[in-house]
Amino acid sequence: MSDNAFQLLAIVIYMIAMLAIGWYAFIRTKNLNDYMLGGRGLGPAVTALSAGAADMSGWLLMGLPGAIYVNGLVDAWIAVGLTIGAYLNWLLVAPRLRVYTQVANDSITIPSFLDNRLRDNTKAIRVASGIIILVFFTFYVSSGMVSGGKFFQSSFGYDYHTGMLIVSGVVVAYTLFGGFLAVSYTDFLQGLTMFLALITVPLLGMFLTGGFSETIESIKLVNPEHLSLFASTATVAGVISSLAWGLGYFGQPHIIVRFMAITSVKETTSARRIGIGWMILSLGGAIATALVGVAYYQQNGGKLEDAETIFIVLGQILFHPFIAGVMLAAILAAVMSTISSQLIVTSSALVEDIYKSIFNKTATDSHYVFMGRMAVLVVSILAAVLAWNPENSILDLVGFAWAGFGAAFGPVILLALYWRKLTNIGALAGMVTGAVVAFVWGSVDSLASIIYEIVPGFVLSLVVAIIVSLVTYKPTKEIEAEFDEMVKQLKAEK
């Protein structure tokens, strides 16, 4: 067998495994709660790794290594910000959100939680949330499709569009049929695959470049500042922008929905430890992969055409073709886990928060599940249209969507969980402000070059939500009682 045949065999086995998990989840999915939230029965390991895999996407194995390869450790500030943000998200949001979503009329989506928590009889929060999720997740899903197209193009010489359609077809299939359970179980397996690949490639790669000292010396020959977090290219605004990625965690629906699905509050502590450990080692592996790649090309000459493919190239150099295929499957794992997570959240927002609450409140669960599957299909087609241009940067697409969610939902989620006086009008005003500011700021190059759009978006969203809530606040017995019940249950379950 040729090298390509071995690698394709590994990829085919991997994809069949994903479809098999999707079929297993399809059999276990009995109602809308199962399809959208897995019946709130995820264990800590599945919760942690599925959240991590859903979070990182192709950015972890392509976007981040590509940025480090080109610019050096100055771009690692993003990883620092993300790690701090993820830890605070597990610590501050996970326990309260798990309890409060159940107390607040057993909410199964973020928009429905805000609607129930704030007694929004107008349904404006649900509609606004659904629109924000649809807009930004379409960009986010398209970034995953771009990753898939580049993957097959650089690995097997396939046409970019052919690769994009293969990846999209498989992930849409298991998400469409298996729902949240399929997404979570496949994400768990994908998280393990990503972790093992990111540890193995840089460790073995360092033997290829002569060990730790030789690798460092080779990197210094390329650029002495490549190993500095404070290189001359670093600016205060740039560092703040990179660290600010951590703010985005509080508002990412596809990540925090895992907190709602975990078995109990007690499990969030174990999940946090597993998740943060996985994250630190995986991010470290991605950074190390890029640096080993710099050393390798310094020692061996040649030129890497696309910096975002450094992980793929090293995997093909280091391993037997079949093992290299397994390494390549880690790229697909990262890409597909995020696409599937985003599709299921978008589907739940469109069906549970717009279609069901406004247009059709009396249909059967089977009808809503069917509509959820149609929503997955429609959003996938829209994302594919956006991803058709292979020149789109993975990191730019992810950054834009990440900022949109972080600014729109982050402040409102934190206030809803910790501040009794948040009102539905305040939440709506803050949410819309954050989304609009992030969208406009990120779309204007002269503004985006100053500071990452999540910073002004998050701050203005928080300020507007607080001011409007203080002006419109009126004590409500039901809301107060529900808040007290959440605090009581939280203490009892810890």
- Mean per-residue pLDDT for 322-328? 81
Task: Evaluate if residue 464 carries a pLDDT over 90.
Answer: yes
Structural domains for the chain: 3-394 (1.20.1730.10)
Highest mean pLDDT out of 67-71, 469-473, 489-493: 469-473
Is residue 96 a contact partner of residue 259, using CB atoms and an 8 Å limit?
no
- The residue with greater pLDDT, 47 or 440, is 440
Is residue 167 a contact partner of residue 149, using CB atoms and an 8 Å limit?
yes
pLDDT at residue number 117:
94
How many CB atoms are closer than 10 A to CB 362? 6
pLDDT at residue number 230:
86
pLDDT at residue number 392:
59
Cα–Cα dist 345/36, whole Å: 8
pLDDT at residue number 38:
62
Residue identified by tokens 């392509």 is 62
- The residue with greater pLDDT, 382 or 410, is 410
- The residue with greater pLDDT, 190 or 442, is 442
- The residue with greater pLDDT, 276 or 345, is 276
Cα–Cα dist 482/480, whole Å: 5
Cα–Cα dist 343/376, whole Å: 6
Please write the tens of the pLDDT for every residue from 80-99.
Answer: 999 999 999 999 999 999 99
Task: Evaluate if residue 415 carries a pLDDT over 90.
Answer: yes
- The residue with greater pLDDT, 267 or 186, is 267
Task: Evaluate if residue 394 carries a pLDDT over 60.
Answer: no
Question: Helices in 319-388 by DSSP H: which ranges?
Answer: 321-348, 365-387
Please write the tens of the pLDDT for every residue from 228-283.
Answer: 888 877 788 888 888 998 999 999 887 888 888 888 888 999 999 999 999 999 99
Please write the tens of the pLDDT for every residue from 275-312.
Answer: 999 999 999 999 999 999 999 999 988 778 788 888 88
What pTM was computed for the model? Answer: 0.85
CA 152 from centre of chain: 22
- Mean per-residue pLDDT for 348-371? 74
- Mean per-residue pLDDT for 40-56? 77
pLDDT at residue number 39:
63
Segment (H or E) for 230: none
> If 0-12 CB within 10 Å is exposed, 13-18 middle and 19+ buried, where does residue 454 land?
buried
Task: Evaluate if residue 393 carries a pLDDT over 60.
Answer: no
How confident is residue 424, by pLDDT bands cut at 50, 70 and 90?
Answer: very high
pLDDT at residue number 58:
66
What are the C-alpha distances in Å from 479 to residues 153, 193, 492? Answer: 54, 44, 20
Task: Evaluate if residue 57 carries a pLDDT over 70.
Answer: no
